[in-house]
Structure 1
Amino acid sequence: MADKIGIIGLGYVGLPLAAAFGRLGPVVGFDINPGRIAALKQGEDETRETTPEELAAAHHLQVTDAAADLAQCNIYIVTVPTPVDESHRPDLGPLKRASETVGALLKPGDLVIYESTVYPGATEEDCVPILEAQSGLVFNRDFTVGYSPERINPGDKQRRLADVVKVTSGSTPQTADRVDALYRQVVTAGTHRAPSIRVAEAAKVIENSQRDINIALINELAMIFNRMGIDTEAVLKAAGSKWNFLPFRPGLVGGHCIGVDPYYLTHKAESLGYHPDILLAGRRLNDGMGTYVAQQMVKAMMQQGCATPEARVLIMGLTFKENCPDLRNTRVIDVVRGLEGFGLQVDVHDPLADPAEVAREYGFDTVAQPKAGTYDGVILAVAHDVFKDLSAAQIRSFGRDGAILYDLKYILTEDEADLRL
C-alpha cells in the first residue's frame, strides 16, 4: 500500500507540511474549523505562511473538516496547538482530542507522528494510551508512533519548512527509520535522528526555553541601563563587536513558542520534585515586561505634563511578532491593559491583525488609520515592515506637540525616539 498521509490541524505548522507532502502524493488535511477549510479551498491562507501558488501546486492535497475523510490514511501527523492555561499549566486538551480522532481511525500497521511541542514523555505517556483505548490496538505491535517537533518560524520567509533541519524519532528503530525517510522527502536541509522520542521532545522544549532565558537577561539589562541613562542598543552594539556575544535584543516575549514552551518543561520538572529556578525566573521577568513598558511610558508622559485623564496613547502593532498576523499570546496586550490601568485612553493600530479576531479575543476595536495630531504618546510595539517604511516624522505626526514616542523595537535611532527599551 502506498502511503496516504493525514495531517490533523492546518494552522501555521500543519498547512505548510500538508502542502509540501501534497505535491508528492495523497494527503488529507483535516481541521475542525469549517471556516478555515472553506478559505483553503479558495486558495486563501490567513496565516500567510503558504502562498496561493503553493496551495495550487499541492495537487494531491484534500482539505476537510470531516474526520471520516482520514479513514484511508496510514500515516497520521498531528500538528495541533499546545497552549498553557491562565495559570501557565500545560493544556493538552487539543492534543488529546486529536489523539482521540486518530485513535478511532487507527488500523494495524499505521504510524502516528506528533509535531506539537510537549514536555518529555507526553507522547508515550499521554497520547499513546488514548490511541490504544480508542483503537483497541497495541502500541508497538499493531501501530507505532514517531515524534518530529515543528520548527516553523511564523513570518520568516527565509527559513521555511524545507530550509530548517528536522529532528526525527520513532518508538522503534524501524519506525525511526521510516519517520526520518518520510521527512527527508520535503526537508532539503536534512534531518537529525534523535535516539528516542523523549530526547526529541526535550530538544524541542529547550530550544525556546534557551531563547526565553537569553531575552530575559537582556530585558533585565535594559532595565538597569535605563536607570543609568545609558542607551541599551548602543551597549549591545558595542558588546556585539566580540565574536561570541549572542545578538539578543530586549522586548515583549509572546507567541505560541517562546512564551509558552518553557512552562511545559517547568511543569514536568515540578512534577518530578524539582523547582526550576532559572527557567521560572526568566518567565517571570519576561511576563512582566508589558507592565514595565506601560510604567515607563506613563512616567515619561507625567514628566512632559501630558499624563492627564484625557490623555490618549497610540500603540502601533498588536500581533506577537513582526510581519505576522498571529495574535496568540501577544504580550502587547499587557501594555494596553497597563496603560488603561493608569486611566489612559488607548488606541491600537495593526494592519496585519484581523479586526474581528481582536474584538473577539480582547474586546476592543482597532484603529484602521490613526488620525494625525491626536495622541499624547505613541508606542512602536511591533516591527512590521509597514511601520519601518514610515519616517520618524510620519510617526510623530500622529501625536500632538510634545507627545512621547517610545520605540520598543529599535525601528528609530536614539535621537529620533524619546524612549527606547
Structure 2
Amino acid sequence: MDSIDLLIDPIDSIRVAVIGLGYVGLPLATALAQHLPTIGFDVNPTRIQALRQGADWNGELHADTLSAPHLHLTDDPSRLREATFLIIAVPTPIDRAKRPDLGPLIEASRLVGAHLRPGAIVVYESTVYPGCTEEVCLPVLEQASGLQAGRDFTVGYSPERINPGDTVHTLDRVVKIVASQDAATTAMMAQVYGLVVKAGIYQAPDIKTAEAAKVIENIQRDLNIALMNELALLFHRLGLRTHEVLKAAGTKWNFLPFEPGLVGGHCIPVDPYYLTHKAEEVGYHPDVILAGRRINDAIGRYVARETVRLLIQAGKVIKGARVLVLGLAFKANVRDARNTRVLELIDELTQHGLDVAVTDPVVGSAEVQRLGLRDVPDPFHAGHRYDAIVLAVPHRVFQDQPVAAYLKLLHDRDGSGVLVDVKGVLREALGEVKLSYWSL
C-alpha cells in the first residue's frame, strides 16, 4: 500500500494517532475521537494513567470528554503501528542560551518512524522555524522507518493555535492551516481536520509557508506587548498613567487594544527565538524581534524594583519587609506555572532582602512549594499582614475579592500600604481608597 492508495480511501477508514497529550494534543485527540478511531499517545505513563482516570492536570478538559468510546489512551509506542494518520504535537522549547531545543521533536519523530506503516501521513503541529519539518524531522522519519518520504509515506504541517484557558477561541472555532508535500495529502488533511474545525480550513501552498505563518503569529503578539511595555516604562517617567493614555488612543478605530504585562508561557516568549535562529543562520540579524524579547523579558524584574521603590516611599524598612505575591501561573486562570515570568519578579524581590510569600489557588500549593517558594494557601482568611501586595496574575478568584479583603492584608491602612496591580484590574474598584497603588 503506498501513500496514493491511502489518499483515495474513504475518510472513515482512517485511524488517527496523536503523539503528545498536552495543551495541543489532548483537545485534538478527544475531538477527533468523536469521528474516527483515535490513539492518544504520550511517553509519560503517569499522564496516561491520570487521563484514563478522567483527570487532566492542565484543567482544560472534563472527565466525560476523556471517556470517548473511540479514544484509546496509551504509552505503548507499538500501538502507533495501527495508525494511518499520525499527528505529532510535542513541545518545542528553547535551551538556556535561547536556542531552539528540537530534542522532543526529534525523539517523537524517531518514535513514530520506528512504527510507521507504508502509506501513512505524518502531520506536525509543533511550532518551528521555516524549513524544520522537511530539513530536520523528515530525515529522522526516513532513517527510523527505512521508508522514503513522498513515495512510501507523506509529511504535512498544520500549526496548532491553542490558547490555554480561552473558552471562546477553541479548537473548532479557529481556522486551521494545512500544508504538505503534495496536493493529495493536503486535501486529506483538510478532510480530517475539517471533521472537528468548523471555522474553516486554509490550505497553504507549502510546508515552509505554514511554518512561517505560525511563528509570526506569536511574534506579532510579542512585539505588540513589548511596545506597550516600553511605552509603560516611558510614561511612568513622564508621570503619565499608561491606562489613561491607552484609553484615549483607543478611541481611534484602528488603534490595536494591546496592554502591558508579563509575557510567559510556552509560546509567545519562546517562538520568536525559533525564527531569529533561522534568520541568523541565513545571515540576517532580526533587530526588532530581539528588541521586543529583551523588553518583555525584563518586565518582571522592573515590577519588582517598582515595588521596592514604593515601599521606600512609604517609609518601610526594606530588609525583611513582608510581601505577598498573588499568582504564579504564566497567565490568568491557567493552572500551569511553567515558564512563568512571576519567578523573575519574586527572585528580584528576594535579592532586595524582602520576605516573599506566594499564593496561587489555581496552580495549587503543591506546585508553589515544589518551586521552593513559601506558600500561603488562603491569605484572605489566614490573618497575616503584609507591607506590600503584588497582584502578579489576575486570576478570576483574585478579581472577585472585595477591596476590603486587600486592605485587610496590609499592615497599615493609613495610606502607607503598597498595592502593586500589574494588569490594573483593581483600579476602578479601588476608587479613592487611600493607599500606595501602582500598575503597569
* TM-score, with structure 1 as normaliser: 0.97
Percentage of matched positions with identical amino acids? 53
Q: Deviations over 1:143-193 (max 9, x none)?
A: 100100000000011111001111111111111111111111100111111
- Bigger shift: residues 334-343 or 43-52: 43-52
Cα distance in 2, alignment partners of residues 284 and 32 from structure 1? 34
Counterpart Cα distance in 2 of 1:108 and 1:358: 47
The answer (yes or no) to whether the contact 1:298–1:307 under 8 Å persists in 2 is: no
Comparing 7-16 and 41-50, the one that deviates more: 41-50
| Structure 2 residue identity aligned to 1:152 | I
CA contact (8 A) 1:212 1:283 kept: yes
SS in 1 for 2:427: coil
The more displaced of 172-181 and 47-56 is 47-56
List aligned pairs for 1:88-127, cutoff 5 A: 88-127=98-137
Alignment correspondent of 2:48: 37
1:399 counterpart = 2:426: no
Match in the other structure for 1:366? 375
Would the aligned equivalents of 1:310 and 1:345 in 2 still touch at CA under 8 Å?
yes
> How far apart in 2 are the matches of 1:203 and 1:189?
18
- For residues 61-93 of structure 1, the C-alpha deviation after alignment (integer angstroms, 9 at most, x for no partner) is 010111112221111100101111111111111
Are 2:281 and 1:271 aligned? Answer: yes
**Distance in 1 separating the partners of 2:217 and 2:17:** 27
Listed one character per residue, the Cα deviations across residues 268-305 of structure 1 (whole Å, up to 9, x for unaligned) are 10111100000000000000001100110000101111
What residue is the counterpart of 1:375 in the other structure?
386
Shift of 1:365: 4.2
In structure 2, the CA distance between the partners of 1:121 and 1:358, relative to structure 1 (3 Å rule), is: farther
For the pair 1:181 / 2:191, whether they are aligned, the reply is yes
1:418 and 2:431 are equivalent in the alignment: no
Residues 38-72 of structure 1, C-alpha deviation per residue, up to 9 Å, x if partnerless?
1111111111221223223x220010111112221
Using the alignment, how far apart are the partners of 1:392 and 1:234 within structure 2?
21
* Equivalent residue number for residue 170 of structure 1: 180
Counterpart selection for 1:22 from 23, 33, 45: 33
- Partner in structure 2 of residue 246 of structure 1: 256
Task: Give 1:55's match in structure 2, choosing from 49, 66, 76.
Answer: 66
Letter in 1 for 2:17: G
2:395 partner letter: H
| Residue pair 2:80, 2:116 contacting (<8 A) in 1 also | no
- Residue deviations 1:84-116, cap 9 Å, x none? 111111111100110011000111101100000
Give yes or no for the alignment of 1:217 onto 2:231.
no
Distance in 2 separating the partners of 1:372 and 1:392: 16
Tell me the distance in 2 between the aligned counterparts of 1:74 and 1:348: 48
Correspondence for 2:16:
5
Q: Distance in 1 between matches of 2:185 and 2:19?
A: 20
Deviations 1:357-380 (A, max 9, x none): 3444x3224221123352111011
Q: Separation in 2 of the partners of 1:201 and 1:405? A: 43
Normalising by structure 2, we get a TM-score of: 0.93
Q: 2:151 aligns to what?
A: 141
Shift of 1:396: 2.3
373 and 146 in structure 1: CA distance in 2 versus 1, 3 angstrom threshold = same
Amino acid of the structure 2 residue aligned with 1:149 = P
Q: Secondary structure at the match of 1:400?
A: coil
Would you say 1:71 and 2:81 are equivalent positions?
Answer: yes
| Aligned mates of 2:318, 2:259 — CA distance in 1 | 32
Contact conserved, 2:99 with 2:273, CA < 8 A, in 1? yes
Alignment partner, residue 195 of structure 1: 205
Which secondary structure state, in structure 2, belongs to the residue aligned with residue 153 of structure 1?
Answer: coil
Listed one character per residue, the Cα deviations across residues 237-270 of structure 1 (whole Å, up to 9, x for unaligned) are 1111110000000000011111111010001101
List runs of 5+ in structure 2 lacking aligned partners.
1-8
> Which position in structure 1 is the counterpart of 2:4?
none
Whether 1:46 aligns to 2:57 is yes
Measure the CA separation in 1 of the matches of 2:88 and 2:102: 13
Residues 170 and 177, structure 1, Cα contact 8 Å, conserved in 2: no
Q: What's the secondary structure of 1:375's corresponding residue?
A: coil
- What SS does structure 2 have at the residue aligned with 1:151? coil
Q: Alignment partner of 1:295: what SS?
A: helix
For the aligned residue pairs, the C-alpha RMSD in angstroms reads 1.2
Q: Give the Cα–Cα distance (whole angstroms) in 2 for the partners of residues 83 and 346 of structure 1.
A: 29
C-alpha contact 1:316 1:350 (8 A) present in aligned 2: yes
Note if contact 2:359-2:368 (Cα within 8 Å) is conserved in structure 1: no
Do 2:307 and 2:420's aligned partners in 1 also have CA atoms closer than 8 Å?
Answer: yes
Query: What is the total number of aligned residue pairs between the two structures?
Result: 419
- The CA distance in 2 between the partners of 1:149 and 1:11, in whole Å, is 15
Q: Counterpart amino acid of 1:175?
A: T
C-alpha contact (below 8 Å) 2:360/2:368 kept by paired residues: no
Whether the aligned pair in 1 keeps the contact of 2:318 and 2:352 (CA below 8 Å) is no
Q: Is the 8 A contact 2:346 2:356 kept in 1?
A: yes
For the 8 Å contact 2:388–2:418, the answer to whether it is kept is yes
Which AA in structure 2 matches 1:385? R
Q: Distance in 2 between matches of 1:26 and 1:189?
A: 23
Pick closer, same or farther for the CA change 1:33–1:357 going to 2, 3 Å. farther
| d(CA) in 1 for partners of 2:34, 2:367 | 32
Return closer, same or farther for 1:365/1:42 CA change in 2, 3 Å cut-off: farther
Report Cα offsets for 1:325-359 as digits up to 9, x if no partner.
11121101110001011011111110011433344
Q: Which moved more, 1:262-271 or 1:47-56?
A: 47-56
